[in-house]
Amino acid sequence: MPVSTTSTKRRPHRWLAAEPHTSTQENDMLQVDIQHAVEKAIRDVADEWDLALPPLRPDSELVDELGFSSMTVVSLTMNLEEELGVDPFADRSVMLTAMRTIQDLCDVYGRALAAAAPASAASI
């Protein structure tokens, strides 16, 4: 059976707009969407690993407050990469170990989505 030599190219995710965000309101909406995606991923991973979560806040610490281990943080970032369609840690200057809070995750994914938006708009 012949093996396909075509590469699988990741489609731009719905988070990536075809045109760059120009208004503050649109940017605020994107931040809210990212926060919801991060919180959903945290809940999904907590369910998967049988972790009891306290109420989530932007300043909730992943390890100290939420009880995440290195394995659950990796699972969380994999879920977020799949959901948001970007891997902010592909940029070697972004360190996974610097992600201490929910807000840290929201910020790094927000920057990655903003950086990916012009590239995805050009490929559409």
What is the chain's percent helix, strand, coil content, to nearest 5?
A: 55, 0, 45
Does the pLDDT value for residue 21 go beyond 50? no
- Which residues face 61 on adjacent strands? 101
Tell me how long the chain is. 124
Sign, Cα dihedral of 87, 93, 94, 97: positive
Mean of pLDDT over the chain: 82
CB 45 within 8 A of CB 75: yes
Token reading at 5: 């030599």
Could you give the count of Cα atoms lying within 13 Å of 93 in the half-sphere of its Cβ?
3
Give tens-digit pLDDT for 92-102: 999 999 999 99
φ and ψ of 40, to 5 deg:
-65, -45
User: pLDDT digits over 24-74, tens only?
Assistant: 666 666 888 999 999 999 999 999 999 999 999 999 999 999 999 999 999
Q: What is the CATH number of domain 24-119?
A: 1.10.1200.10
The conformational region for residue 97 under phi > 0 = left, psi -120 to 50 = alpha, else beta, is alpha
